[in-house]
């Protein structure tokens, strides 16, 4: 997965998804052999030469200025996340010789304390590849109650949310609108892949998902990108029934992210979450104390 191939694939995919009628390009009733805009039409909209845009799409030129990239992004009708993704793809190869492979991810003591404070809110800590590095009791019960609560502490057995969404039946059944959740997962992985091109573990994860899930392979080929910061999902929990949660990321920038699930005050969803908390608190009395509490190893 080189920056060149990612850049060319992204441009070609997004160009094919942009219909002439969407942007007022006349077709005069002609039949087109391929869907979407032609290269010359996109180049005209972006204000660049056809030969230059062709070289960029074929990965033969990586010298595009930020201004040119913004012009192409505007012609492709990209949103802010997609625009930044385009810049990242060009920067991957431009700075490849200076890149370093990302190191192992750890949960800081500050993040472990945050999980303690968020005892009444489902919270999980996700690494850049969507590995679950830690979770509190309610986060475990809501998102993966069928898994060992101590799994995040074992690096070789850590759950991965992308794998769970696409390959785990329990997690798939949690989401009433599973395709929406799945597209968000894929879109976020697209962003991460451009930002960490030398992450071999990430590429292995993408290869596994593509091989085992035709749905993932199809969504990945679509080249949609999406920053998963805030999204509402209707969940169907096997213990407390349906509830709607807002999943939002509390931390941004480098390092693991804390994702929490909140509910509307006074709503049936808030009541369902309270019922789930009551259930796991009752289990605490008979469970092994070493396996309870916030799972936030800093090793």
Residue 12: both structure tokens together: 């070609």
* Dist CA 287 CA 292 (whole Å): 7
Residues 156 and 278 in one domain: yes
Residues 37 and 86 in one domain: yes
Give me the average pLDDT of each 10-residue run along the chain (299 residues). Answer: 68 85 68 79 90 85 82 90 85 53 78 89 94 95 95 89 97 97 93 86 94 96 82 96 95 78 96 95 63 45
Looking at residue 224, what is its pLDDT? Answer: 83
Looking at residue 295, what is its pLDDT? Answer: 47
Residues 181 and 63 in one domain: no
User: In the chain, how many domains are there?
Assistant: 2
Residues 10 and 136 in one domain: no
Looking at residue 293, what is its pLDDT? Answer: 47
Q: Look at residue 104 and tell me if it is in a domain.
A: no
Looking at residue 62, what is its pLDDT? Answer: 65
- pTM value > 0.75: yes
Give the CATH number, domain containing residue 173: 3.30.450.180
* Dist CA 150 CA 137 (whole Å): 10
Say what angle helices 137-144 and 268-284 make with each other, to 10 degrees: 110
**167, 212 in Cβ contact below 8 A?**
yes
**169, 144 in Cβ contact below 8 A?**
no
Q: Look at residue 117 and tell me if it is in a domain.
A: yes
Residues 121 and 145 in one domain: yes
Which structural domain, as residue segments, surrounds residue 66? 3-98
Residues 120 and 247 in one domain: yes
Of 98, 119, 134, the last residue of a domain is: 98
Residues 54 and 7 in one domain: yes
Residues 257 and 122 in one domain: yes
Residue 130: both structure tokens together: 């969507």
Looking at residue 137, what is its pLDDT? Answer: 94
Give the CATH number, domain containing residue 22: 1.10.260.40
């Amino acid at each position: 997965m080189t920056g060149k191939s990612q850049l060319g694939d992204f441009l070609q995919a997004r160009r094919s998804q942009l219909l002439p009628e969407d942007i007022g390009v006349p077709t005069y009733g002609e039949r087109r052999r391929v869907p979407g805009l032609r290269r010359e039409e996109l180049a005209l909209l972006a204000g660049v030469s056809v030969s230059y845009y062709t070289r960029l799409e074929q990965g033969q030129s990586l010298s595009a200025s930020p201004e040119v990239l913004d012009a192409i992004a505007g012609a492709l009708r990209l949103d802010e996340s997609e625009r930044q993704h385009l810049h990242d793809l060009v920067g991957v190869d431009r700075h490849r010789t200076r890149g370093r492979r990302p190191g192992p991810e750890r949960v800081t003591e500050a993040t472990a304390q945050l999980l303690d404070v968020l005892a009444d809110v489902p919270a999980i800590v996700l690494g850049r590849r969507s590995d679950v590095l830690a979770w509190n009791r309610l986060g475990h019960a809501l998102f993966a109650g069928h898994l060992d609560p101590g799994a995040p502490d074992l690096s070789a057995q850590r759950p991965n949310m992308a794998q769970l969404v696409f390959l785990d039946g329990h997690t798939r059944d949690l989401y009433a609108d599973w395709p929406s959740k799945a597209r968000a997962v894929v879109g976020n992985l697209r962003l991460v892949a451009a930002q960490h091109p030398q992450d071999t573990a990430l590429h292995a994860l993408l290869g596994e998902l593509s091989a085992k899930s035709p749905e993932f392979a199809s969504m990945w080929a679509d080249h949609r990108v999406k920053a998963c910061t805030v999204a509402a999902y209707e969940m169907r929990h096997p213990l407390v029934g349906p509830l709607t949660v807002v999943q939002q990321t509390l931390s941004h920038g480098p390092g693991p992210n804390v994702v929490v699930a909140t509910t509307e005050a006074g709503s049936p969803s808030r009541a369902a979450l309270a019922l789930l908390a009551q259930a796991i608190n009752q289990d605490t009395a008979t469970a092994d104390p070493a396996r309870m509490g916030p799972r936030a190893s800093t090793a």
